[in-house]
Structure 1
Amino acid sequence: MRFNKLDLNLLVALDAMFTLRSVSRAAEQLHMSQSALSSSLARLREYFDDELLVQVGRQMELTPRAEVLREAVRDVLVRVDTTITAMPSFDPTQSDREFRVFVSDFTMAVLMPHLLSLAQEEGSTVRFHLMPQTRQPQRTLEQGDADLLVIPQDYCSADHPTEMLFEEDFCCVAWDQSRFAREGLTLDQYKAAGHVVMQPPGMDRSFENRFMDGAGISRRVEVTSYSFLTAAYLVLGTERVATIHRRLADLIQRGLPLKVMPLPVKMNNMAQVMQWHKYRTQDPGLVWLRGLLHQAVLRMDA
């Protein structure tokens, strides 16, 4: 198929090469020979009158023209995938579809078990790929690499729709043999204590860190973790404290010698939402998944 003398099939090859920055790996992903893909690249270079990808050392880099084209090509392919190839109906008991859902380990621990349980009770045959946090979650969505994001509202893109799932507050946890567990925790003690803090992989700051910085509260960070779930474990046997989500603290406290205490500073609640690509609003599979997530929230809090 051609448009303005461009073979549109070449856009799929171009997108793969832009993403992988390698002709050989793109050929492998597309199940093409390397020579065939090299021929496609030559035709694309001729059409756009630009090298598009150039060898720099051991890897290929995008030219300035290619950088401009990269997101436009991905947007076109996502739109085609979501509006033309989408199935008109969805039956979770007959589908082998895989849903790619972007979640933190907090959401994975407190919410996703209820989602999976509900899906099984429905007799669902779908699969779930739970994906880790990245620096730019909205880019993951826009490139079609995730079907759904479950993230704090503050991290959402203004370009795509969202739905509220639940609000979350925060608390402090300490080892139940620590002085904080015995004596309590004032604001001055909180500031002076050693802290275990979660730093999201590839992201600047967590919701908690954003709030503390904005409130002018300086903490003595002694341990940094990449996981919300492990922060509570890392205070055990120490005089350190961690600030974590209330639902996560309630879950972990059942099996660990922890003392859960109120946060000695008024912190805004976190709005946890789900976000999907604007082109996929009417996708029957995502409509089903979004509804199931709302049911999972009700079960989580029951």
Structure 2
Amino acid sequence: MRFNKLDLNLLVALDALLAERNISRAGERVHLSQPAMSNALARLREYFGDELLAAQGRQMVLTPRALGLIEPVREVLMRIDSTITNPPVFDPAKATRTFVLLLSDFTTAVFVPAMLEALYKEARGIGIELRMLSDRPIEQLEQGDADLLIIPAQYVSPDHPSEALFEEQYLCVTWLGNSRIKEELTFNDYLECGHVVANYATGQQRAAFDSWFLDRFGIKRHVEVSAPTMAALPRMVVGTDRIATVHKRLAIQAEAILPIRLWEPPLEVPTLEQKLQWHRHRDADPALTWMRELALRVGKTI
């Protein structure tokens, strides 16, 4: 099918090339061989009168014309997907669709089990693919690499709709054999202990808390261990005098299996608000609407 002399099938190839900036990976993304994708690129170059992808050393870079095509091409394809290819009525009991969710290990541990239980009861044919948050989650959402994003409120994009999913408090965690903290956790204890912290790919989790802590108290915590996980922090204080500031639900789960003690923080830690976000062009997708409503319903129960 052609529109203004452009073979519309080439839009899918173009979207993959713009996202991957590599012919082989783009071909894998849309299930085309490398020769077929090279041919598609040649036809696109002829249509646009532009190289689109240009060699720079061992890499391919997008030309200014190609950079300007990223958002409009993605939006066209997402509009087609949400308004034309998806059926107007969604029956969860009969559906076999798979949804991709971007989320943290914290959300995976405390929210996903309840969501999967609800899905099993209401829509056994629905599949879920969980992916860890990257350093560019909004970009992944805009490129169509994820259906839903679960992320702290301070990181949501104002360009796409979102709703509050659930809130979380924090607790401090120490080993039962901690030689410093026995009967009471004071603010001085908190400052003097070595800290175990989460430090994701983006550094946002650690940076957000430490930035707030520095702004609030004018001092830095003494970080001795950082790890790309929140769920494992309670285990990392065992056998040491270190301390971790952990999401409350994770801390309570860990207390059931580890020799640890939980403390109310000796300072007022801001509440964490987790939000559910989706692409603005998918707002009317009946399947995604149903999935959002299920997630929001589950979020009220955990």
Q: TM-score, normalised by structure 2?
A: 0.92
Unaligned runs of 5+ in 2: none
CA shift digits 1:22-76 (9 cap, x unpaired): 2233234434343333232122222222211122333322223222222322222
Task: Name 2:148's counterpart in structure 1.
Answer: 148
Distance 1:133 1:31 in 2: 25
User: In the alignment, is the contact (CA less than 8 A) between 2:102 and 2:132 conserved in 1?
Assistant: yes
Distance 1:69 1:213 in 2: 42
Q: Which moved more, 1:60-69 or 1:240-249?
A: 60-69
CA shift digits 1:192-213 (9 cap, x unpaired): 2100010122344444334224
RMSD between superposed Cα atoms in Å: 1.8
Q: Which moved more, 1:201-210 or 1:18-27?
A: 201-210
Task: Name 2:173's counterpart in structure 1.
Answer: 173
Residues 217-256 of structure 1 aligned to structure 2 (within 5 Å): 217-256=219-258
SS at 1:138 equivalent: helix
Task: Name 2:99's counterpart in structure 1.
Answer: 99
Q: Which moved more, 1:168-177 or 1:3-12?
A: 3-12
Distance 2:33 2:137 in 1: 33
CA shift digits 1:94-130 (9 cap, x unpaired): 1111111111111111111011111112252110011
**Is 1:211 aligned with 2:212?**
yes
Assess, with a 3 A threshold, how the Cα gap between structure 1 residues 204 and 167 changes in structure 2: closer, same or farther.
closer
User: In the alignment, is the contact (CA less than 8 A) between 2:95 and 2:123 conserved in 1?
Assistant: no
Assess, with a 3 A threshold, how the Cα gap between structure 1 residues 111 and 204 changes in structure 2: closer, same or farther.
closer
Distance 1:272 1:31 in 2: 35
Distance 2:115 2:133 in 1: 19
Q: Which moved more, 1:247-256 or 1:213-222?
A: 213-222
Q: Which amino acid aligns with 2:279?
A: H
Q: Which moved more, 1:117-126 or 1:209-218?
A: 209-218
Assess, with a 3 A threshold, how the Cα gap between structure 1 residues 145 and 29 changes in structure 2: closer, same or farther.
closer
Assess, with a 3 A threshold, how the Cα gap between structure 1 residues 52 and 123 changes in structure 2: closer, same or farther.
closer
Distance 2:167 2:33 in 1: 51
Task: Name 1:80's counterpart in structure 2.
Answer: 80
Assess, with a 3 A threshold, how the Cα gap between structure 1 residues 27 and 123 changes in structure 2: closer, same or farther.
closer
Task: Name 1:267's counterpart in structure 2.
Answer: 269
User: In the alignment, is the contact (CA less than 8 A) between 2:166 and 2:300 conserved in 1?
Assistant: no
Post-superposition shift, 1:259? 0.7
Unaligned runs of 5+ in 1: none
CA shift digits 1:195-245 (9 cap, x unpaired): 001012234444433422432341010000100001111100000000111
Distance 1:163 1:194 in 2: 36
Distance 2:121 2:33 in 1: 44
Assess, with a 3 A threshold, how the Cα gap between structure 1 residues 122 and 214 changes in structure 2: closer, same or farther.
same
User: In the alignment, is the contact (CA less than 8 A) between 2:176 and 2:261 conserved in 1?
Assistant: yes
Distance 1:104 1:281 in 2: 23
SS at 1:183 equivalent: coil
**Is 1:71 aligned with 2:71?**
yes
SS at 1:299 equivalent: coil
Assess, with a 3 A threshold, how the Cα gap between structure 1 residues 168 and 32 changes in structure 2: closer, same or farther.
closer
**Is 1:137 aligned with 2:137?**
yes
SS at 1:232 equivalent: helix
**Is 1:163 aligned with 2:160?**
no
Q: TM-score, normalised by structure 1?
A: 0.92
Count of aligned pairs between the two proteins: 300
User: In the alignment, is the contact (CA less than 8 A) between 2:210 and 2:220 conserved in 1?
Assistant: no
Runs of 4+ in 1 over 6 A off after TM superposition: none
